[in-house]
Structure 1
Amino acid sequence: MAPITSSVWQKWRSRLNGDRGDASVQMAIVFPFVIVLTITVVQASMWYYARQIALAAARDGVAAGRTYQAGPSDAADRARQVLDRTAGDSLRQATVATSGSTGGRIRVQVHGTAPSLLPFVPDLPVAQSASGPVERFTTPGG
């Protein structure tokens, strides 16, 4: 086996030195995309969570409004109570409406916004609704 000469050693050294800093440049290019992707996933999760809060409030409102001798105002009050208890900062500017309710059916709609983490992106709108028949007594065969 031939000994390593200085010219061979210099070629190896120049190859090793030529790659210095490549990893830093690659990270500088890739890392912003990784951060944006991470923030986007968190943002989508926050929006989904806000939707679930609104849906839970609407469902609880419908459950309260369906009971015997209850009305749309009882449903709206119950939905607001749920929002006050659970929404916090996850569902902002939440409003409750019972428009579309009839004597035989109750409908609760909850609207609000999910906070945005991304700069220059407004808060994301959230709207959920639930409905169900109003309980009533009937006579047999009628």
Structure 2
Amino acid sequence: MRSRMLSGWRDAVRRRRMRGDGGFGSVEFAVLAVVVLALIFTVIQVGLYYHARKVAQSAARQGVEAGRQFGASTGDGVAQAQTFLNRFGGSVQGASVSSAGSSAEEIRITVHGSVATLVPGLTLHVVQHADAPIERWTNP
């Protein structure tokens, strides 16, 4: 009885192999390829976003360091941040630098921009800021 069941199962497997897959393999490959490509593009897009974020943060820090020095102005900080973005900020598109929020005792540099995207119509924005106290002369 058991050998009849096994031989029946073997015959069914043989018939299935001889029939072929009927094109299901191609459909499965096409669906899987789309999913894999979507995952690859997502990983690349996340990498572009984090890179643009780090570049904007570095530009803001450079601006703060230049603007907080004794005798410097917030305009010096904005200029330094803009120079940094011009040299290294290719991943931050349409970048703008401002010193809004600065006071007589503290400098704050903010960098706004957008990220290059792989998906048409998708817009990702980056806003990073840095702040620090301004160096000043005091009597002991």
TM-score where L is the length of structure 1: 0.84
Task: Report the equivalent of 2:125.
Answer: 125
Show structure 2 runs of 5+ residues with no match.
1-9
Q: Are the structure 2 counterparts of residues 101 and 12 from structure 1 closer, same or farther at C-alpha, using a change threshold of 3 Å?
A: closer
Q: What are the Cα deviations for residues 74-127 of structure 1, in whole angstroms up to 9, with x where unaligned?
A: 000000010000012x11000000011111000000000001101332x31010
TM-score where L is the length of structure 2: 0.86
Task: Report the equivalent of 1:42.
Answer: 44
Tell me how far apart the structure 1 counterparts of residues 31 and 65 of structure 2 sit (CA, whole Å). Answer: 53
Tell me how far apart the structure 2 counterparts of residues 111 and 67 of structure 1 sit (CA, whole Å). Answer: 23
1:19 deviation in Å? 4.0
Show structure 1 runs of 5+ residues with no match.
1-8
Tell me how far apart the structure 2 counterparts of residues 41 and 12 of structure 1 sit (CA, whole Å). Answer: 41
- Alignment: residue pair count: 131
1:10 deviation in Å? 7.8
Structural RMSD (CA) = 1.9
Which residue identity lines up with residue 129 of structure 1 in the other structure? Answer: H
1:18 deviation in Å? 3.3
